[in-house]
Amino acid sequence: MSDVIVIGAGPAGLAGAIASASNGLSVTVLDEFIKPGGRLLGQLHQEPSGEWWNGMKESERLFLEANNLSVDIRCGVSVYNLEKDENLWNVHTNIGTLTARYVLVATGAAEYPVPVPGWTLPGVMSIGAAQVMTNVHRVQVGKKGIIIGANILSFAILNELQLAGINVDRIILPEKNSISGKAGEPEEVLKTLLHAAHLAPSPLMRFGSHFMKNNWLRKMAIHFYPKSGMKVNGTPLQLRIAAVEIVGKEQVEGVKVANTDAAGQVIPGTEVLYEADFVCIAGGLYPLAELAAVAGCPFEYIPELGGHVPCHSETMETPLGGLFVAGNITGIESGKISMAQGTIAGIAIANHAGKVSSTIDQQLQQAVQQVRSVREQATIQFNPEIDKGRSKMKEIWETKFAPLDKEYSHKKIV
């Protein structure tokens, strides 16, 4: 039996395993994917400094470090239930039940689906699926594709597809309806894109972003937005074109689209068909938190964090004794933040386990500081109001849960 079971070998889980193991605990990491790294594996973008964020390399580095600390990493293992029995956690998996005193749930994020009619045809996939096929499996997703949904992830992955020589014909929006919500409203989309404009490969968008913080100018921009789109790295971004239906017999053959007005309403009679052999749907990310829910962890709905998140302290503990969380399960942020959060969780677990070296308090404080500074310097920010979301959770923890936990209150990090 290990001291700690980590569920998820993404940046959060691996960093957590490393931090716990360096403090003398035995750690087992479980992951259902074929290799460790989680969603980090497929990430590939250039920082403003010009340096490449190569997720494959980062994953290998984390794996080697964990391996050197004798962390037992098991891939191809799915966890489907988590329950506490006296002082031990039972982790139910497809290879049987494992037990440990401490569990770190680091299951990451999943993508919101946007059910455009025809979306079940082979050749339609989430934007993340295309990232994994391209950068992890190194298989072409198709010859000519259309991305439905304009957000920071679709821009990042557009770039990755282009790097791999895959032709993305255009980016369009989903048709506005109760499910697509703001993702189908041109002005709302433009607003969120402006927060990512410093990353936009197009100088025009970077330039425009300064001016369009102003509401009136933004409305004008949408009103006069060219039908043919504005080029993002050579691919037209068409904010006034919506996907009405994905068509094809046995697989994708194209997307039926229509022009929209400035509010995103389809203009009848403007339908045309764009040919494509693959379609990527980019609906955004939400925390993948089922396991924390089945374990009985209390949740809060915090939209800035991406949806329902398990309640947790700044040191990544949950109200359930021995259960910790880290990474995107706590809120949607970049891989670097997940890693820094994992480190906090790993040290906090060692602290709870009584592996109290003289430096552990200092380690914990430094780790909490590290998350803050990584967040300040983040180049990829999924939600511009992330700080607000994090503060909300901190306040909820301090009013609802911290008073119950004596351990926490005298070791409180300031």
Partner 1 sequence: MNRILDHPILGKITDRKTIPFQYDGTTYEAYKHETIAAALLANGVRKLRVHEESGTPRGIYCNIGHCMECRVTVNGQANVRACLTVVENDMVVESGKQLPNIVKRMVEQG
Ligand X SMILES: Cc1cc2nc3c(=O)[nH]c(=O)nc-3n(C[C@H](O)[C@H](O)[C@H](O)COP(=O)(O)OP(=O)(O)OC[C@H]3O[C@@H](n4cnc5c(N)ncnc54)[C@H](O)[C@@H]3O)c2cc1C
Please tell me the distance from the alpha carbon of residue 145 to that of residue 280, in angstroms, as a whole number: 7
Number of chain residues interacting with partner 1 (CB under 8 A): 38
- Contact status: 81 vs partner 1 (CB under 8 A): no
Output 139 or 414, the one with its CB closest to partner 1.
139
Burial of residue 82, with CB atoms counted within 10 A of its CB: 0-12 exposed, 13-18 middle, 19 or more buried? buried
| Chosen from ligand X, partner 1, none, partner binding at 138 (C-beta under 5 to 8 Å by type) | partner 1
Among 70, 138, 269, 410, binds partner 1 (CB under 8 A): 138
Residue 328: CB minimum distance to ligand X, A? 4
The residue written with tokens 């998140």 in the block is 309
- Applying CB under 6 A, which residues contact ligand X? 7-13, 30-33, 38-40, 43, 78-79, 106-109, 111, 128, 131, 153, 156, 285, 288, 291, 327-328, 334-335, 338, 380
Who contacts 245 (Cβ-Cβ below 8 Å, separation ≥6)? 116, 117, 118, 255, 256
Q: Which does 141 bind (CB under 5 to 8 A by kind): partner 1, ligand X, none?
A: partner 1
DSSP notation for 321-379: TTEEE-GGGGS---HHHHHHHHHHHHHHHHHHTT---TTHHHHHHHHHHHHHHHHHT-S
Among 168, 156, 399, CA closest to 298: 399
Cβ(189)–Cβ(173) under 8 Å?
yes
* Residue number with CB closer to ligand X (41 or 364): 41
Spatial neighbors of 130 by CB under 8 A, at least 6 apart, are 141, 145, 157, 161, 278, 280
Instruction: CB nearer to ligand X: give 26 or 46.
Output: 46
**Residue 147 touches which of partner 1, ligand X, none (Cβ within 5-8 Å per kind):** none
Interface with partner 1 (CB under 8 A), residue from 228, 251, 359, 366: 251
| Residue 236 bridge partners (DSSP) | 231
Of 209-228, binders to partner 1 (CB under 8 A) are: none
What is the identity of the amino acid at 148?
A: I
From the list 160-168, 172-180, 184-192, 373-381, the region that binds partner 1 by CB under 8 A is 160-168
Q: Does 168 bind partner 1 (CB under 8 A)?
A: no
The option from partner 1, ligand X, none interacting with 106 (CB < 5 to 8 A, set by class) reads: ligand X
Residue that has been written with the tokens 């191809």 in this structure: 76
List the one residue from 1, 24, 64, 76 that touches partner 1 (CB under 8 A).
76
Q: Which of 83, 87, 86 is nearest to 105 (CA)?
A: 83
Q: Which is nearer to partner 1, 56 or 179 (CB)?
A: 56
Q: Name which of residues 268 to 327 contact partner 1 (CB under 8 A).
A: 288
> Which pair of structure tokens corresponds to residue 220?
């004008």
Nearer to partner 1 by C-beta: 61 or 213?
Answer: 61
15 binds partner 1 (CB under 8 A): no
CA atoms of 201 and 235, how far apart (whole Å)? 11
Is 32 among the residues that bind partner 1 (CB under 8 A)? yes
Beta bridge partners of 300: 309
Q: At what angle do helices 186-195 and 215-223 cross, to 10 degrees?
A: 120
Among 90, 92, 129, 299, binds partner 1 (CB under 8 A): 129
Residue 99 beta carbon to ligand X: minimum distance, rounded to whole angstroms = 16
Looking at the DSSP assignment, which residues form a beta bridge with residue 247?
254
Among ligand X, partner 1, none, what does residue 59 contact (CB within 5–8 Å per kind)?
none
CB within 8 Å of 360: residues ≥ 6 apart: 23, 347, 350, 351
Q: Which does 140 bind (CB under 5 to 8 A by kind): ligand X, partner 1, none?
A: partner 1
Under DSSP, is residue 136 helix (H, G, I), strand (E, B) or coil? helix
**Minimum separation from the CB atom of position 11 to ligand X (A):** 5
CB of 306 to ligand X, least distance (A): 10
Q: Summarize as ranges the residues that interact with partner 1 (CB under 8 A).
A: 32-34, 39, 44, 52, 54, 56, 76, 78, 110-111, 113, 120-126, 128-130, 132-135, 137-141, 163-165, 250-251, 288
